[in-house]
């Protein structure tokens, strides 16, 4: 199972990102473990300076904006 972390303060963009990740995973028929990381120290420890950010299996793949559905799909397909 792919672990997806959405890193951010819980702002609206972070919530949109988490929702889109879940929706894309469902569309692809992929089961994921979705974790929201909201603690500033944990976010910085992963090297993220701009949120929302997304990490797939512990590797940060995006930061600073809401990713497109196409990007999310490509990450999930690559993690298969």
Query: Catalytic residues, which ones?
Result: 11, 14
Residue with tokens 């997304």: 54
Between CA 50 and CA 80 the distance in angstroms is 27
**Can you tell me which residue has the tokens 């702002």?**
11
Judge whether 18 and 26 are in contact, CB under 8 Å. no
Is the separation of the CB atoms in 36 and 14 below 8 Å? yes
């Amino acid at each position: 199972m792919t672990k997806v972390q959405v890193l951010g303060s819980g702002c609206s963009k972070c919530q949109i990102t988490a929702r889109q990740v879940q929706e894309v995973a469902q569309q692809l028929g992929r089961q994921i473990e979705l974790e929201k990381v909201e603690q500033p120290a944990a976010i910085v420890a992963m090297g993220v300076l701009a949120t929302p950010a997304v990490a797939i299996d512990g590797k940060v793949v995006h930061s600073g904006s809401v990713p497109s559905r196409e990007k999310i799909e490509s990450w999930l397909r690559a993690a298969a």
